[in-house]
Amino acid sequence: MSKLQDLIVQYFNEDKDKKIFDQIINELQTCDTVWSAFSPITKNHFVDYVQGRPTAFLFSEQEYCKQYCNHMKQSGFTVGSAECSKENRLSMFADYHRSGFECIIIDNGKRYLVIELSDLINIPDYSEIPLENRPVINPDLVCSADRFFQCLESKTLTPDKEINLLIDTYNAKYVIPIQGEITNNTANIPALERSDGLKVVPFFTDIAEYRKYDGKGKYKPAMADYTQIESFCNAGETVVINPLGFNFTLNKKTIDAVHNALNAVPKGGKTDRAVIFTPEKVPAKLIDGLSPMLDITEGVNAAYIKGLRKNNESSLLLIVDCGESDAETTKLIMDAVKERAEELADGEKIEYITAASGIGKTAVAETEPFFERITIDASLAPENVD
């Protein structure tokens, strides 16, 4: 057993003693070697969502990491291990922040511990710095793109993951390479030739990704945004974001998909991104109080409860299957459900959608309803009748 694993066991055996927790943090920061779950698909740390939060997986022993990789392989995910020495530890934690992670699970599969990334490093706050002086960093986009391509490869992709990727692509700022000087607001961006011979325009989510491409400083980095991507694609060019990372290719068809995902974003506004997850606990009072009401409400076929994380805040998501009800009836059902749920919520934040909506279809997939109407076919003869 590693020293780190031994400390984790002690931590729980001694009622989460603060002194032992501090020793765990010190060991994570200073031990000779740790192993991070790594995705060869995105060429970045493997990301999963735990209670709606993007989570990294770190291991004190290489064998522990191998066991996790084998476990994920059974679910269709290709996961490898990235060894990190003490000298590179701070850089790896900073890379976790760049990649959008909020928390870390240590030694998943053993006696594991969940910690905040902020317990290991000081998360930079750029809010007081003018926009034009802030470093280009896009943790939301890196995280949603990594997740998208991991799930695409494992055949577990759902519409919400694609929507989040497209929204984050629209909202991001980028680093681009400039060849020569900018004259009359015109810049020469060197094309990148792919292995298939296609020449593409490279865009980067941050300076770390940019340096993978231009490590010798051949070009001058400059800031760009989505409008430049759209201009290139509308002109028939192909754009690639992070060609040496998750390698997201965009063309005119992608631009149309972005517009559909935005769904008429208000001018100057920012579309919300959302993560749906299975909550650890659902208030029994909410389920027990809603079920009888749903049972006597005509038009309701089923109801589900999921977790929703949006803008770094978590809430419950109540999804109602209104069957073939028309728009007016559906609104009456949803208003009645909301009114009753608010009486039972005890301050719990709840959002409401129908199962027929785009996100609703994703949310209820492979989810058991807490309420389901049972219908009996009267045309069938009863069994066991003498």
Asked if residue 141 has pLDDT above 60, the reply is: yes
What is the pLDDT, as a whole number, of residue 112?
96
Which residues in the chain are classed under CATH 3.40.1350.90?
Answer: 3-119
- The reported pLDDT for the residue numbered 270 is 53
Across the range 14-36, mean pLDDT stands at 96
What pLDDT score does 183 carry?
67
Q: What digits encode the pLDDT tens for the residues 155-197?
A: 998 888 898 899 999 999 999 999 887 666 677 889 998 888 8
pLDDT score at 127: 82
286-314 average pLDDT score: 91
Summarize pLDDT for 84-107 with one digit per residue, the tens: 999 999 999 999 999 999 999 999
Q: Which long-range contacts (CB under 8 A, 24 or more apart) does 66-72 make?
A: 67/109, 68/37, 68/108, 68/109, 69/37, 71/109, 72/37, 72/46
Tens digit of each residue's pLDDT (9 = 90 or more) over 328-338: 999 999 999 99
Mean pLDDT of 287-303: 93
Query: Residue 79 is which amino acid?
Result: V
What pTM value is reported for the model? 0.82
Angle at 202 between CA 198 and CA 207, to 5 degrees: 150
**CA dist., res. 18 & res. 27, Å (int):** 14
CATH fold, domain 3-119, is Trna Endonuclease; Chain: A, domain 1 (3.40.1350)
CATH code assigned to 275-372: 3.30.70.1350
Instruction: Give the confidence band of 268 by pLDDT, cuts at 50, 70, 90.
Output: very low
Residues of the chain with CATH 3.30.70.1350: 275-372
Q: In this model, does residue 359 exceed pLDDT 80?
A: no
